[in-house]
Structure 1
Amino acid sequence: MSEKTEKQKMLAGELYLADDVELTNDNKRASLLLKQYNFTTVEDTEMRLEILKKLFGKIKAKIQIVPPFHCDYGSNIYVGDEFYMNYGCVILDCNIVHIGDNVKCAPYVQIYTAYHPTDPQIRQTKKELAAPINIGNNVWIGGGAIVCPGVDIGDNTTIGAGSVVVKDIPANVIAVGNPCKVIRSVS
């Protein structure tokens, strides 16, 4: 059995080196596509869609991301129908990010699968970690919210502006704060 590549380790949630040749090339590819995307205008709807089709792992027909937008690889992002992401959002997709249908993100939402080891000796090795994120259908994420690695957000949930989501949030709730906590049900 052959040893895992750094990319395979990354996607498996294991320690990996981000400056690996394959990952560096994947990041360069995404950077070039993002450069094109971020220089488009409102009139360039079809061009934006074509770039996102090349960039992301999978998208459905109706998607709108207002530039500027940034991600690491793009290929690990899977987006449902009627997705909207406002200005200045970032998705660090060092692991898989699944985003359901009818998800809306306000400006400066940050979705981070990537993180660093807390052990300073391991951190000095330059090895990193990443954990997947799943965002259900009909989710609204308020401005400036941060979704941390390994988090699942259930269907029909609202995440308040400025929240820091460090643990799973169930379906059909409103959750706010730092750390983000459920304040009430919506069902």
Structure 2
Amino acid sequence: MTEFEKMTRGESFNAIDLDLRLRREATRLACAKFNSHPSKGNLRHVTRLFAAFDSVVIEPGFQCDYGSQIHLGKNVFINFQCVFLDSAPIHIGDDVLIGPAVHLYTVDHPRDADLRASGECSAKSIKIGNKVWIGGGAKILPGIEIGDNAIIAANAVVTRNVADNERYFG
């Protein structure tokens, strides 16, 4: 089984595997085309990577690892300088506003230094409900679920699940 297959199955994987590095490089190039010349035509370089999307506005500065595990609903707005590390699925609902410099991290690293040095990683999915507003600079950690209508404060580090209609200040 390849490291990519392990990763997409939710198993531990080696992030320094050549195939995974080449996939991330190809994704960086697609993002770079859009980020250097933001246009609808260049946005296609990014959105064609996604597992699913309906209608999305992405401002320049967007980065992701693979794109293939990003699922976007209708009317999603992603502001400037956002980073989506999608080693596990990222599901974003409808009518979601994502502020500038928001980071979504699905990947995690071992606490053991030797395992970490070997490239071993794990990843947990992030799920964001409908009509969520995530303030600028927020960081969403692996495995987090954010309920419908929730508001995440600017610069919050989200370390636990957030309920429907909750305001999370971190």
SS of aligned partner of 2:77: strand
Distance in 2 between residues matched to 1:128 and 1:104, nearest whole Å: 29
Q: Is the CA contact 2:34–2:43 (under 8 Å) kept in the aligned structure 1?
A: no
Match of 1:8 in 2: 5
5+ residue gaps in structure 2?
none
- When normalised by structure 1's length, the TM-score is 0.86
Distance in 2 between residues matched to 1:138 and 1:87, nearest whole Å: 19
1:53 pairs, out of 47, 52, 57, with 47
Give the greater-gyration-radius structure (CA). 1
**AA in 1 matched with 2:47:** K
Identity %: 39
Q: Is the CA contact 1:94–1:114 (under 8 Å) kept in the aligned structure 2?
A: yes
2:140 pairs, out of 142, 147, 161, with 147
2:79 pairs, out of 61, 72, 86, with 86
Q: Is the CA contact 1:56–1:75 (under 8 Å) kept in the aligned structure 2?
A: yes
SS of aligned partner of 1:144: coil
**AA in 1 matched with 2:132:** V
Q: Is the CA contact 1:49–1:63 (under 8 Å) kept in the aligned structure 2?
A: no
Distance in 2 between residues matched to 1:75 and 1:154, nearest whole Å: 23
Match of 2:37 in 1: 40
Mean alpha-carbon deviation: is it higher for 50-59 or for 110-119? 50-59
5+ residue gaps in structure 1?
178-187
Moved over 3 A (4+): none
Distance in 2 between residues matched to 1:54 and 1:130, nearest whole Å: 23
Mean alpha-carbon deviation: is it higher for 143-152 or for 50-59? 50-59
What is the CA deviation profile of residues 21-40 of structure 1, one whole-angstrom value per residue up to 9, with x for unaligned ones? Answer: 33123212211211111012
CA RMSD of aligned residues (A): 1.4
Match of 2:101 in 1: 108
The structure with higher relative contact order (CA 8 Å, sep 6+) is 2
Distance in 2 between residues matched to 1:95 and 1:71, nearest whole Å: 12
1:71 Cα deviation from its structure 2 partner: 0.7
- When normalised by structure 2's length, the TM-score is 0.94
Distance in 1 between residues matched to 2:37 and 2:48, nearest whole Å: 15
Distance in 2 between residues matched to 1:48 and 1:172, nearest whole Å: 35
1:48 Cα deviation from its structure 2 partner: 4.1
Count of residue pairs brought into register by the alignment:
170
SS of aligned partner of 1:55: coil
1:79 Cα deviation from its structure 2 partner: 0.6
1:85 Cα deviation from its structure 2 partner: 1.0
Distance in 2 between residues matched to 1:25 and 1:124, nearest whole Å: 19
SS of aligned partner of 2:48: helix
1:49 Cα deviation from its structure 2 partner: 4.1
SS of aligned partner of 2:168: strand
